[in-house]
């Protein structure tokens, strides 16, 4: 070879290697971003499957506790006088040598193909619980990837240092000991605390592929969090794949107690009242996840509308064959002692039952052995009934998992009339959550309020909005229904009901063919609810929501027949609700609610629309102050507008809590609501007064929540075409109440 070519080749290599050697940290990050689609498993691979072993331990750092018996002295007249011996530390450390506060383990199979993911939990056990807490198993605590633009860690979202525009939020630099020939070690540090919340750490990057081979993250705050993720190189796929993830948590420098730590310690040990140490300060949570049996680009089958996570019956058994099959379960004596000890503690203190009570309480129910009592049925108040006292509920799984009985009974001290409901449901198919049932109801309901079949139960034990409702109708209705999950994200319910209706105020429907005060309806309703981005878990206990996402679309189609079971009207009704929410990191959230309804044909006032008003012009002005409603129009008068077609949209900007003092952290929201509607053949509704909403109704306001023990205040202003002449009549001041359970 000519010398000139050899010299040219040497020169070329020198220039190339010199360029690589002089790359800045920012340039390396840019190359990582450029090669992200080739290195991130979910974009580089068509499919993969692997198993994982997840172990969580809550314990203490014994190195921070001295095993000794201290002498306690007190000072009297400048002299140190012996008072007693304190053996708390000694026995505390001795006890914690034998066991942890808590332990749980899980084996899972993870599958991925064409953007779809699924987790099958093969075996799971949680100390103290014969049946695991499924909501905990579904938490994606270790589902972390720095390749994503954002990732979630213990419920908090963080901007990734490898997001689309990382230099906006992070500063990058080479580490001082960056002398490895195979990888770059780059340190990153947050420069935008509002978005990244003080995240910092290291990225170890392969020099050949610019792929992550190791990542570290550290968050310092009330709880200090340390995350380390290691990758292994798979030659058959030419990719670095996550191998092990470790998450370490311990209390930070804050003097305040950390609820999670305190509660877990609280039922574990009798030695928490030590004078020398606070168990919270020496406690930690360690989570280790090891991935194994990785298979890439092999045939994987995941249904398009399948559950995100599934837990079969056999997975929760302590003697599951899967533990022996994979041989990964802990055999450490200290771990085994923890299971034995906590099994007895949880059973003794009825922890499982208490958790079940809390779970039901979130749905406004109180769980007893056989009956779930409906808390919203106990007491209420409205203008028609006065104080309404009642009792109701439904049987639970302890009685039967295949059928349930439900009902309630109530009575108002003002109208002196008994209301009741009784019904039953039977499960036809567990896999698709298919239930068939029926009921009979004798009760009252707000006139012109549209209640959808999939409307979530109201958590409020007392609904303050009912205080000002004056128009109700009574009804005696029999119904049959079938409920079926077309897919985990698409629910359906078909219901037929028939019965008699009576408006409990002066009202007559008059048309060319009808003159009715009391009437019969025979309705067939199809309801659908679609949550395309939600994730669900299917367990032996039933269906759980793992991830709540938006949009949430609810549609309902109703046909009332005038020739079936003595029906008096022939009309079609269509209702649509769309909820959407945008969450931003440390900037709150923006929520939208669109509601629309349309009635075609002749329909009585009871089944038209009032768009949920919540205001009155009673005097003095201070008497107008009441509680705010859920998505109600706070400046719209009760019975002011009635429509047979309408559309409304609400926009709400929720800001993060802002600190005024150490404990005073209110939360601000800005809300605007708009509705437009109209009514055809207004003259058929006699003896009642109302207006059309054809010009559009609009209000805006401010809400400040959690000013004092959950109480807050809101103020709304009514403007536009339906503005009142008097300024003060356009203003509504309301009290808010938000329950902060955690």
Which H or E run includes 593?
strand 589-601
Position of tokens 């001795």?
94
Bigger pLDDT: 331 vs 417: 417
State the DSSP code for 629.
Answer: P
Q: Please, which pLDDT band fits residue 78 given cuts at 50, 70 and 90? A: low
How far apart, in whole angstroms, are the C-alpha atoms of residue 331 and residue 412?
A: 62
User: What residues does 109 pair with on adjacent strands?
Assistant: 51, 120
- pLDDT value at residue 252: 76
Q: Residue 615 class from Cβ within 10 Å (0-12 exposed, 13-18 middle, 19+ buried)?
A: buried
- pLDDT value at residue 139: 67
The percentage of residues in the chain with a pLDDT greater than 90, rounded to a whole number, is: 46
How far apart, in whole angstroms, are the C-alpha atoms of residue 302 and residue 499?
A: 45
Q: How far is CA 530 from the centre of its chain?
A: 16
Instruction: Provide the greatest CA pair distance for the chain.
Output: 112
Residue pair 632/612 in contact by the 8 Å Cβ criterion: yes
- pLDDT value at residue 37: 92
How far apart, in whole angstroms, are the C-alpha atoms of residue 164 and residue 84?
A: 63
Does position 702 have pLDDT exceeding 60, yes or no? yes
How far apart, in whole angstroms, are the C-alpha atoms of residue 81 and residue 74?
A: 5
How far apart, in whole angstroms, are the C-alpha atoms of residue 563 and residue 519?
A: 13
Bigger pLDDT: 30 vs 381: 30
- pLDDT value at residue 266: 44
Tens of pLDDT along 661-687?
666 778 899 999 999 999 998 999 999
CA angle 258, 259, 265 (to 5 degrees): 95
Q: Taking each helix axis from N to C terminus, what angle separates 333-348 and 351-361, rounded to the nearest 10 degrees?
A: 70
Q: Which residue in 283, 158, 261, 291 sits closest to 218, CA to CA?
A: 158
Tens of pLDDT along 208-231?
999 999 999 998 877 888 999 999
The percentage of residues in the chain with a pLDDT greater than 70, rounded to a whole number, is: 80
Q: Please, which pLDDT band fits residue 737 given cuts at 50, 70 and 90? A: confident
Looking at 510-581, list the stretches that DSSP marks H as alpha helix, in order from N- to C-terminal side: none
Bigger pLDDT: 424 vs 267: 424
Residue pair 605/642 in contact by the 8 Å Cβ criterion: yes
Bigger pLDDT: 19 vs 54: 54
How far apart, in whole angstroms, are the C-alpha atoms of residue 597 and residue 224?
A: 50
How far apart, in whole angstroms, are the C-alpha atoms of residue 531 and residue 129?
A: 32
Q: Which residue in 153, 154, 192 sits closest to 171, CA to CA?
A: 192
Q: How far is CA 431 from the centre of its chain?
A: 23
Phi, psi of 531 (to 5 degrees): -125, 80
Tens of pLDDT along 17-27?
444 457 889 99
How many C-beta atoms lie closer than 10 Å to residue 243's C-beta?
A: 19
- pLDDT value at residue 560: 96
How many C-beta atoms lie closer than 10 Å to residue 513's C-beta?
A: 8
State the DSSP code for 536.
Answer: E
Does position 336 have pLDDT exceeding 60, yes or no? yes
Least confident of 127-136, 348-357, 526-535: 348-357
How far apart, in whole angstroms, are the C-alpha atoms of residue 260 and residue 267?
A: 12
How far apart, in whole angstroms, are the C-alpha atoms of residue 712 and residue 628?
A: 10
How far apart, in whole angstroms, are the C-alpha atoms of residue 307 and residue 494?
A: 23
Least confident of 389-403, 515-529, 620-634: 620-634
Q: Please, which pLDDT band fits residue 176 given cuts at 50, 70 and 90? A: low
Q: How far is CA 370 from the centre of its chain?
A: 27
Tens of pLDDT along 120-146?
999 888 877 766 777 666 666 667 888
- pLDDT value at residue 71: 46
Tens of pLDDT along 593-641?
999 999 999 999 999 999 999 998 888 887 788 888 888 999 999 999 9
How far apart, in whole angstroms, are the C-alpha atoms of residue 538 and residue 488?
A: 9
Residue pair 734/467 in contact by the 8 Å Cβ criterion: no
Tens of pLDDT along 383-395?
888 889 999 999 9
- pLDDT value at residue 539: 86
Domains and CATH numbers, the chain: 25-349 (no CATH), 430-737 (2.40.160)
Does position 184 have pLDDT exceeding 70, yes or no? yes
Which two tokens mark 274?
């030590």
Does position 441 have pLDDT exceeding 50, yes or no? yes
How far apart, in whole angstroms, are the C-alpha atoms of residue 732 and residue 638?
A: 13
């Amino acid at each position: 070879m000519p010398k000139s070519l050899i010299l040219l080749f040497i020169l070329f290599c020198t220039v190339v290697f010199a360029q690589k050697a002089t790359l800045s940290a920012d340039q390396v990050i840019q190359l990582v971003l450029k090669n992200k689609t080739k290195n991130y498993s979910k974009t580089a691979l068509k499919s993969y499957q692997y198993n994982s072993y997840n172990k969580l331990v809550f314990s203490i750092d014994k190195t921070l506790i001295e095993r000794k018996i201290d002498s306690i002295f007190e000072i009297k007249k400048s002299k140190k006088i012996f008072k007693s011996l304190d053996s708390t530390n000694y026995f505390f450390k001795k006890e914690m040598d034998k066991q942890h506060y808590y332990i749980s383990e899980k084996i899972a199979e993870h599958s991925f193909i064409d953007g779809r993911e699924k987790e099958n939990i093969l075996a799971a056990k949680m100390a103290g619980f014969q049946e695991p807490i499924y909501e905990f198993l579904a938490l994606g605590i270790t589902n972390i990837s720095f390749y994503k633009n954002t990732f979630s860690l213990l419920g908090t979202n963080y901007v990734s240092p490898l997001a689309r525009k990382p230099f906006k939020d992070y500063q990058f630099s080479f580490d001082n000991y960056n002398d490895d020939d195979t990888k770059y070690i780059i340190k990153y540090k947050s420069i935008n605390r509002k978005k990244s919340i003080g995240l910092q750490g290291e990225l170890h990057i392969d020099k050949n592929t610019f792929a992550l081979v190791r990542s570290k993250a550290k968050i310092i705050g009330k709880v200090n969090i340390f995350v380390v993720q290691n990758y292994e190189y798979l030659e058959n796929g030419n990719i670095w794949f996550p191998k092990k993830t470790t998450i370490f948590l311990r209390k930070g420098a804050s003097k305040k107690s950390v609820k999670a730590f305190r509660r877990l310690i609280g039922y574990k040990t009798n030695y928490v009242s030590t004078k020398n140490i606070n168990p919270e300060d020496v406690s930690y949570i360690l989570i280790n996840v090891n991935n194994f049996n990785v298979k890439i680009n092999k045939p994987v089958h995941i249904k398009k509308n399948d559950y995100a996570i599934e837990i079969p019956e056999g997975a929760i058994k302590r003697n599951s064959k899967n533990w022996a099959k994979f041989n990964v379960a802990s055999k450490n004596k200290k771990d085994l002692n923890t299971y034995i000890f906590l099994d007895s503690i949880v059973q003794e203190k009825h922890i499982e039952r208490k958790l079940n009570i809390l779970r039901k309480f979130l749905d406004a129910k109180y769980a007893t052995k056989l009956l779930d009592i409906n808390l919203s049925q106990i007491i209420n108040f409205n203008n028609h009934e006065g104080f309404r006292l009642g009792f109701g509920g439904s049987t639970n799984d302890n009685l039967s998992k295949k059928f349930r009985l439900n009902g309630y009974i109530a009575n108002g001290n003002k109208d002196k009339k008994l209301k009741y409901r009784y019904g039953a449901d039977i499960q036809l198919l567990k896999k698709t959550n298919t239930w068939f049932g029926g009921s009979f109801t004798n009760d009252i309901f707000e006139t012109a309020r549209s209640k959808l079949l999939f409307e979530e139960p109201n958590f409020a034990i007392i609904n303050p909005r009912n205080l000002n409702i004056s128009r109700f109708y009574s009804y005696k209705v029999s119904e049959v229904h079938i409920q079926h999950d077309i897919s985990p994200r698409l629910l359906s319910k078909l219901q037929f009901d028939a019965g008699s209706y009576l408006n409990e105020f002066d009202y007559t429907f008059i048309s060319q063919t009808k003159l009715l005060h009391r009437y019969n309806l025979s309705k067939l309703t199809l309801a659908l609810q679609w949550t395309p981005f939600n994730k669900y878990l299917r367990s032996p206990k039933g269906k759980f929501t793992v991830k709540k996402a938006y949009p949430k679309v609810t549609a309902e189609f109703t046909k009332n027949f005038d020739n079936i079971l003595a029906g008096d009207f022939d009309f079609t009704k269509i209702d649509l609700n769309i909820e959407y929410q945008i969450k931003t990191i440390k900037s709150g959230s923006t929520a939208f609610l669109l509601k629309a309804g349309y009635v075609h044909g002749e329909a009585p006032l009871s089944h038209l629309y009032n768009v949920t008003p919540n205001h009155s012009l009673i005097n003095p002005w201070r008497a107008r102050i009441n509680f705010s409603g859920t998505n109600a129009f706070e400046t719209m008068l009760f019975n002011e507008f009635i429509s047979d077609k309408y559309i409304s949209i609400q926009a709400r900007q929720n800001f993060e809590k802002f600190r005024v003092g150490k404990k005073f952290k209110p939360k601000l929201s800005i809300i605007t609501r708009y509705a437009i509607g109209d009514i055809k053949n207004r003259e058929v509704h006699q003896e009642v007064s109302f207006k059309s909403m054809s010009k559009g109704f609009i209000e805006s306001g401010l809400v400040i929540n959690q000013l004092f023990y959950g109480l807050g205040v809101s103020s709304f202003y009514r403007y536009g075409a339906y503005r009142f002449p008097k300024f003060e009549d356009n203003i509504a001041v309301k009290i808010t109440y938000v329950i902060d359970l955690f």
